[in-house]
Structure 1
Amino acid sequence: MLPNIIFRYFARRFFWTILTIFLGTFLLILLVDFVELFRRGSDKENADLLSLFLMSLFRVPELNERILPFAALFGSIIAFLNLSRRLELVIVRASGMSAWQFVSPALFVALALGILASTVYNPAASLLKEKSLELDAKIFGSDFTSSGQQTSQGWVQQKGKDGDSILKAKTSFDNGRQLGGVTVFSYDANGKFVERIDARSAKLEEGYWHLNDVLVSSAKSPPRHYNTYLVSTHLTPEEANETMANPDSVPFWDLPGIIEQAKRAGLPANKYRLRFQTLLARPMLLAAMVLIAATVSLKIFRFGNVGKMILSGIIAGFVLYVVTEFAKDLGNTGLVNPILSAWLPAIVASLIGFSILLYQEDG
């Protein structure tokens, strides 16, 4: 009975510490983002204070999702330090409990938070992000250049009824079906350059891109401005999703369907497979952060050197994050299998943390 009570007590401590850091960063990002939006919308007629606040509130969850691994790391370090400072770890050690018994509540909390973050928080954050983009379109017009998701590709070559063209966009929206900051180089059927097209935004229709606020330049005539302009394309919605959309904007539960669509269309979909596996591996990544925190925190009350050990834990956490991002880049390009890219950093970090903790506690 007593171990269960201690387990629940420690789990609550870790949960509330991690949640406090996560919510603290959420409020900080919300404040900074709202101030920036207020500055941008100060000269817009329909930019009232409530709409700007809702727009910021809806898009901050997607930004704050990236903070979760560091919230787990810093929250675990702070929780271990508080337990050590209040001599609670000394008491449970004196009662005969091993380090693994009071590390296990933190691991349980990390795994549970990782599962909830991938299956519940991520879809909700993606949905709110879409709503924030809708508000952005109403307030700032149809320009998605500064508010949409960054596109995952550079220049994309496409074929159409009028000839080939090369397209690039700064941002994407609606799974690659709407673009912002669009540049198109158009060629005729013989491969000869025809014109350059710069548009504020574009929307994929059946057989063509519908461009808005367009400037067309060619060698034979001066630049011409059009409110709307059409560029033919044979791109399907699935192909646009694969080439233009950012996989980080796709909710967790939609990823398997998109991967299957890309497979039927003969597309590789490496970035979507990687995103799906990354979300699946998130609980293990958070557990690795907890193990890193435990290796630098549990011996503090016995040996001192608080500052150095905390700094080493923070550095180790950042190194793990950098390695994870590097592995994702390799997975996105197809150089490394997406499953390996997503899982290997978390598995290796967990094994290293487990080994160090095993050596420190059991010799």
Structure 2
Amino acid sequence: MIGTASRTGTTLAVYFAMRFVWAILGLFLLTTALIFLFDLLELLRRTSGEAGAGLFRVALISLLRVPQLMEQVLPFAVLFGAIAGFLGLSRKLELVVARAAGVSVWQFIAPALIVGITIGLLAVTLYNPLAVVLRDQSDRVAAGLFGREQNFLLQTTGEIWLRQDGADGESVLHAKQILDGGERLFGVTLFTFDRQGSFTRRIEATEARLADRAWQLDDATIYTTTGDPEHRDTLAVSTYLTPAEVRESIAAPESIGFWDLPRVIELSRRAGLPAYRYSLQYQTLLARPVLLAAMVLIAACVSLRVSRMGGLGGLILGGILAGFVLYVLSELGKDLGGAGIVPPFLAAWAPGVFGVLMGITILLHLEDG
């Protein structure tokens, strides 16, 4: 009898888990298709009139970008997928039957929690590195495809400005696109100054690559105040910047995969650079399973309450509000942790832990009075 009950409980848990998997996966894929469509239309609008901006190339750029964009949507996909799963079980009276058979709320929430945590682990260890690789390929496909207001990259917010020093004097570098963590730049403009701080020349180049103590510029045009423009196929501009310093100054943490982040953090610290942003990104990825578990618990709180009291509108509104609160907390934590105001560990883990504690507290109140 005990063995039969155990097998029945396992079968029921697997059944519930698969319902949640399909609900979350379906919502995730639907959202992916919508984001791809809107992103494709936006890129087509922004590249209209640009040489080489064919439909296939733009579609490939968008397709390779979407996986990293979807990382931001994953917590909401889990939240609303879990709500849909609980609502489906409730509407078919399967939760009622399970309760009548003596299954507690914690027993039919457990499969959903396991699904959420497993998705979080897979998202961190497999999906994130793959999304970063695909995003890098997207950047390579898009390399050189830009206009005055275009920026296809997630690594930066707007165009890049960087002040640097070198053997020949100081310079200010401006670029429209970056690759390889900031070691390759496209659409480059350099304003150089002598040791007395006087302007000497403006250099415009198609591409710049960071070599040993110098930026190697391709297809460069030199403008001075005393002569006609001069074109060079290649040109070297000295710099004291190291790859670690360029990465810290330009590259966004999201452009580095989960397994590479510890190495980048260590390199930044050895170079004497602050590693707040990379530490925060690493801790945020580590905390993702906890955040997804919090989403599942909040979905259970909202769904169980609605299943008893009725009101689909309240269900949707409650889910949106709960997800919005956690999103705001996560973004606030990123801002504080990225600036070094609070420790990255606390900034990354606090929203997920808060959500889990809040969900458990509400469930205890609803179920155990």
TM-score above 0.5: yes
- The CA deviation string for residues 133-168 of structure 1, in whole angstroms up to 9 with x for no partner, is 222237x38999522333379643321011122334
SS at structure 2 position matched to 1:164 = strand
SS at structure 1 position matched to 2:274 = coil
For residue 203 of structure 1, report the CA deviation from its aligned partner.
2.2
CA distance in 2, matches of 1:212, 1:322: 43
> Among residues 292, 299, 305, which one is paired with 1:299 in the alignment?
305
- The CA deviation string for residues 302-333 of structure 1, in whole angstroms up to 9 with x for no partner, is 21133123302211101211210121111111
The residue identity in structure 2 corresponding to 1:147 is F
Question: In 2 relative to 1, CA 220–129 (structure 1 residues): closer, same or farther, beyond 3 Å?
Answer: same
Tell me, which stretches of 5 or more residues in structure 1 are unaligned? none
The residue identity in structure 2 corresponding to 1:65 is E
1:360 match: 366
8 A Cα contact 2:47 2:146, kept in partner: no
- The CA deviation string for residues 227-273 of structure 1, in whole angstroms up to 9 with x for no partner, is 65543211111111111111101111111111111122121211111
Question: In 2 relative to 1, CA 154–340 (structure 1 residues): closer, same or farther, beyond 3 Å?
Answer: farther
1:66 corresponds to 2:72: yes
Question: In 2 relative to 1, CA 335–312 (structure 1 residues): closer, same or farther, beyond 3 Å?
Answer: same
1:260 match: 266
Please list, as runs of the form range in 1=range in 2, the aligned pairs for 1:88-237 lying within 5 A after superposition: 88-137=94-143, 140=145, 146-151=151-156, 155-197=161-203, 199-212=205-218, 229-237=235-243
8 A Cα contact 1:145 1:181, kept in partner: no
8 A Cα contact 1:143 1:200, kept in partner: no
8 A Cα contact 1:159 1:233, kept in partner: yes
For residue 337 of structure 1, report the CA deviation from its aligned partner.
0.9
Question: In 2 relative to 1, CA 171–42 (structure 1 residues): closer, same or farther, beyond 3 Å?
Answer: closer
1:87 match: 93
For residue 68 of structure 1, report the CA deviation from its aligned partner.
0.3
Question: In 2 relative to 1, CA 252–317 (structure 1 residues): closer, same or farther, beyond 3 Å?
Answer: same
> Among residues 19, 27, 35, which one is paired with 2:33 in the alignment?
27
Question: In 2 relative to 1, CA 325–297 (structure 1 residues): closer, same or farther, beyond 3 Å?
Answer: same
CA distance in 2, matches of 1:36, 1:286: 30
- TM-score, length-normalised on structure 1? 0.90
Please, what is the CA RMSD of the aligned residues? 2.7
More moved, 160-169 vs 347-356: 160-169
The residue identity in structure 2 corresponding to 1:251 is G
More moved, 285-294 vs 152-161: 152-161
CA distance in 1, matches of 2:313, 2:121: 32
CA distance in 2, matches of 1:7, 1:330: 40
For residue 205 of structure 1, report the CA deviation from its aligned partner.
1.9
> Among residues 38, 51, 59, which one is paired with 1:53 in the alignment?
59
SS at structure 1 position matched to 2:181 = coil
> Among residues 345, 348, 351, which one is paired with 2:357 in the alignment?
351
1:285 match: 291
- The CA deviation string for residues 5-48 of structure 1, in whole angstroms up to 9 with x for no partner, is 11101110111111111111111122233344455666567555
- TM-score, length-normalised on structure 2? 0.89
1:330 match: 336
CA distance in 1, matches of 2:343, 2:217: 37
SS at structure 2 position matched to 1:24 = helix
Question: In 2 relative to 1, CA 360–136 (structure 1 residues): closer, same or farther, beyond 3 Å?
Answer: same
Question: In 2 relative to 1, CA 143–257 (structure 1 residues): closer, same or farther, beyond 3 Å?
Answer: farther
More moved, 176-185 vs 260-269: 176-185
Question: In 2 relative to 1, CA 325–22 (structure 1 residues): closer, same or farther, beyond 3 Å?
Answer: same
The residue identity in structure 1 corresponding to 2:304 is L
The residue identity in structure 1 corresponding to 2:347 is S
For residue 210 of structure 1, report the CA deviation from its aligned partner.
2.9
SS at structure 1 position matched to 2:182 = coil
The residue identity in structure 2 corresponding to 1:163 is G
- The CA deviation string for residues 34-68 of structure 1, in whole angstroms up to 9 with x for no partner, is 34445566656755554443332222111112110
The residue identity in structure 1 corresponding to 2:273 is L
The residue identity in structure 1 corresponding to 2:65 is R
Tell me, which stretches of 5 or more residues in structure 2 are unaligned? 1-6
The residue identity in structure 1 corresponding to 2:198 is K
- How many equivalent residue pairs? 362
> Among residues 312, 320, 323, which one is paired with 1:314 in the alignment?
320
The residue identity in structure 2 corresponding to 1:231 is V
